Amino acid sequence: MSDTPFAISNFKFTDKRKDLVFMARTAETAERYDDMCKFMRALVQHTNQESDLTVEERNLLSVAYKNVIGARRASWRTLNVEEHKDNDLIKEYKSIVERELEAICKDVLDLLQNTLVPYTKGKQNESQVFYLKMTGDYYRYLAEFIEKKDYDRMAAENYESALVVATEKLSPTHPIRLGLALNYSVCFYEILKDQKKACELAKKAFDDAISKLDQLDEASYKDSTLIMQLLRDNLTLWTSDNSDENQQ
């Protein structure tokens, strides 16, 4: 995480949980996502397995780290192109970005594995799926640029654990279940290099959701249909890629 000019201890909170959520929202509005991560980390540590995060708090946690990691992943992809592979300056610059990526991933994985996932152990609920999926996501991000550390396997294991619970407890149209299927299928395709499983998972999730579309509640409609579109787009792309390979 990059340094920011404040420490959480400098703030005088009256209702710490409420105030941390307020400050996380404020940091989001100001697009200071590194600060937002600090506030959300403090919130998770404040709950300390005594209570689960609310839906809003979970989403704030996800948004904070997603924006911080997303910027670095975009930078890494820009630097990790064929034309730069022999440029020593760019290789050094890329290694700096990779160290930042690794620090961010390990920061959020620490929160997930030491506080949030243990709290939901045995509960088999929406929160457990959310945290296991998020754990899988950040192991997948590590696997994108670090080889031979089993991050690919750990990503798949957490996604699979989340899928077992999601299949049992969440409806096929639930946005968390759909988002899990989307990210797990991407993991199969991009990290594990298993195109067949990627397509099978994405197609099953899409078909299951279509079959229950009449049960989709209004609150989830926009999120669920957007993810379904992404699943269908990936399927179209992946089957097209596979067809092109077979014709070569």
DSSP track, 131-151: HHHHHHHHHHHHHHH--SSSH
Reply yes or no on whether the pLDDT at 244 is more than 70: no
Reply yes or no on whether the pLDDT at 213 is more than 70: yes
Residue 247: predicted pLDDT: 47
- Map tokens 């407890």 to a residue: 169
- pTM recorded for the entire structure: 0.91
**How far, in Å, CA of 141 to CA of 136, rounded?**
9
Reply yes or no on whether the pLDDT at 2 is more than 90: no
Token couple for 117 = 């996932």
Nearest CA to 36 among 49, 27, 46? 27
Cα atoms in the Cβ-side hemisphere of radius 13 Å centred on 48: 3
pLDDT one-digit tens code per residue, 116-159:
999 998 888 999 999 999 999 999 999 999 998 999 999 999 99
The residue-averaged pLDDT of 174-183 equals 97
